[in-house]
Structures are given as C-alpha cells and as structure tokens.
Amino acid sequence: MDLQLNNKVALITGGSMGIGFAIAEALAKEGVHLLITARNAERLKLAVEKLSTYAVNIKSFVADITQTHDIVSLAKFAEQSFGGVDILINNAGTGTNEKIAEASDEKWYYYWDLHVMAAIRLSRALLPSMKQRGGGVILNNASICAKQPIGYEPIYNTTKAALVMMSKCLAEEVIKDNIRVNAINPGLIRTEAWENAAVEEGKKQGISAEDFLQNIAKENAPIGRFASPEELAHFFVFLCSPLASYCVGSSYYVDGGWLKVTT
C-alpha cells in the first residue's frame, strides 16, 4: 500500500529511542525526511547512525523541550533545514510516581511543560510553515491514562488528559488550513522504561523481569501481551498519511483491549 508520504518532512520529539525512534524508522521506510530531537546528544547520534541506512535526509537537534528557548531554536532549525515540516509528532514524555498530597508544585510544572506546553509551543511555532506548505499533520502521543488513570501517577494522568483535550481544540482551529490533529493513547508498550522497571520490581517480587512483564500484561490487557514500539509506530504512520484524511480531532486507543469503558 502506498501511504503517499514520500518526501514529506517530519519532526519527532523524543526521537532517539523507544516509541519516538520506532516512529522515525517507520516514517523513514516510507520516504519521509526526519528531524529528530532529544536531550541526550549521544543517543541522538546513535539514532541518526541507525537511520542512515534509509535514503532520506536526517537531521538531529539537541533540545530540552520543557524550555521555551530550546523550542524556538528547534523551530528555527526546522525552517533552516527543511523549510518547515509537514508532520509534527509530539512524542516526548515519561511516567511519573507520586501522590497529589505530596507532590511539589515544581514537579507539577515540569511535567505540565513536558507533556502539554511543549506540544502547544511546538505546534504554535510550526503552524505557519505547515500552512505555507499546504497543510500537515500533528499527532500527540498521549496515553490510555488520559481516560483510565493509574493510581501511582496522578501528574501523568492529568497532563495526558490535558494533552488529549488540547488536541481536540487545536484540531477544530486548524482543519480549515488542511492540518489534521489527533491524539494517540497507547496502552502497554514495551519500552526501555518498562524493561528497567521490570528488573527492579521483579527483584522485589522474586521473579524475573520477563515474568513481571507477562504478569502486568495478563492482568491488564485482554490481548495478554505488551505491544512493541514498532506495532504502535505503524498506527502513527497511517495517521500521518493522506489515506487517513477523514481522521480529525479524535483520540485513538492502541491498547490491546485494556480500556475498560467505551469511548
């Protein structure tokens, strides 16, 4: 199937590893030129090396997207390197672990900037060039936790819920400019963060990391397993494609059946 993405340009935050890297690689396979960003320069360098096997133009930019000045610099770099972008994947983020009664304002503000304001600021900065290029796609990587919260990470739950609502509002604003905005809400995706947690929690429970992950999957997802980042990336790529042209302002759950309510 031709997804009609050849020679498009995508910017992916958190693109050096995990879900972000999987999305970058899946887009590269479709002929999409890439600008990937992350905080760790060494990880970015390794990611670019891995992606260099594809016949696309690949740029990287070290940035902390919780910082407004880094986002401004990133947007300028995108303009200088590619004349703007056609696709923005707001992917960067991470889980939290706290109680509302104990979490500091500083922690709330940090994750608000990481999960919500970064997406707002980058979208705002790149919308003009998208309009000039005749349209585009913005995909915000939220979480099943936006709808079905996990008790130990209220900040993550709250900020991801806000990201979903922002996606809906922005979608209505910019569809007139042929810019489609959607949110994707993954469930259990086997990332490095999950694997690291499995080692730690498995030791506490006296089981292997693999058994810990299997138990989590069987307890939560009817499909009975984690998804790979690559499986999730396939869905991102489809939503980037003109073949998904009627997908606007929606939240899509890629969760193996974990969500317990209808949407």
Residues annotated as part of the active site: 156
User: Which candidate, 8, 66, 25, places its Cα nearest to that of 233?
Assistant: 25
The residue type at 91: N
Q: How far apart are CA 147 and CA 87, in angstroms?
A: 25
Determine contact, residues 155/103, Cβ cutoff 8 Å: yes
Q: How far apart are CA 240 and CA 111, in angstroms?
A: 26
The residue type at 42: E
Q: How far apart are CA 99 and CA 94, in angstroms?
A: 16
The total number of residues shown for the chain amounts to 263
Q: How far apart are CA 239 and CA 216, in angstroms?
A: 28
The position carrying tokens 């959607």 is 182
- Residue 13's DSSP bridge partners are 37
User: Which candidate, 64, 134, 68, places its Cα nearest to that of 94?
Assistant: 64
Element housing 6 (H / E): none
Q: What is the sign, positive or negative, of the torsion defined by CA atoms of 238, 150, 63, 172? A: positive
